[in-house]
Amino acid sequence: MRNFTGNFTQQTALPEASITAVNAVLATGRLHRYNLAEGEVGEVAQLEIDYRDWQGSAYCLAVTSGGQALQIAMRACGISTDDVVLTNAFTLAPVPGAIAAVGAQPLLVETDENLRIDLDDLKQKAIQSRARYLLLSHMRGHLCDMDRLMHICDEHGITVIEDCAHTMGAMWNGKRSGNFGHVACFSTQTYKHMNSGEGGLLTTNDPQLMVRATILSGSYMLYDRHGAGPDVADFYDARLDMPNLSARMDAVRAAMLRPQLAVLNANIDAWNARYAACAGALAKVDGLHLPERPKAEQMVGSSIQFRAPSLDAKECRALLAMAGARGVELKWFGAHEPVGFTSTHGSWRYMPNQSLPRTDAIMASLFDMRLPLSFAVHECQFIGELIGDAFRGAKS
Ligand SMILES: *Cc1c(COP(=O)(O)O)cnc(C)c1O
Measure the N-to-C terminal CA separation of the chain; round to a whole number of Å.
19
Whether the CB-CB separation of 167 and 193 falls below 8 Å is answered with no
Q: How far is the CA of 187 from the centre of ligand 1 (A)?
A: 6
Give the model confidence (pLDDT) of 277-314 as tens digits.
Answer: 999 999 999 999 999 999 999 999 999 999 999 999 99
User: What average pLDDT does the segment 196-200 reach?
Assistant: 98
pLDDT of residue 335: 86
- Give CA separation, 171 vs 14, 272, 297, in Å: 25, 13, 6
C-alpha triplet 246, 248, 250: angle, nearest 5°:
135
Nearest protein CA to atom 4 of ligand 1, as residue: 66
What is the average pLDDT value for the chain, to the nearest integer? 96
> Is residue 29 predicted with pLDDT exceeding 80?
yes
Residue % of the chain over a pLDDT of 70? 100
Give the model confidence (pLDDT) of 332-376 as tens digits.
Answer: 999 877 777 777 898 899 999 999 999 999 999 999 999 999 999
Nearest protein CA to atom 1 of ligand 1, as residue: 165
Q: Which of 95, 138, 186, 194 to mutate for ligand 1's pocket (most ligand atoms within 8 Å of CB)?
A: 95
Nearest protein CA to atom 6 of ligand 1, as residue: 66
pLDDT of residue 205: 98
Nearest protein CA to atom 2 of ligand 1, as residue: 165
Q: How far is the CA of 82 from the centre of ligand 1 (A)?
A: 24
Whether the CB-CB separation of 196 and 257 falls below 8 Å is answered with yes
111 lines ligand 1 (CB under 6 A): no
Residue 369, φ and ψ in degrees, nearest 5 = -155, 135
pLDDT of residue 212: 97
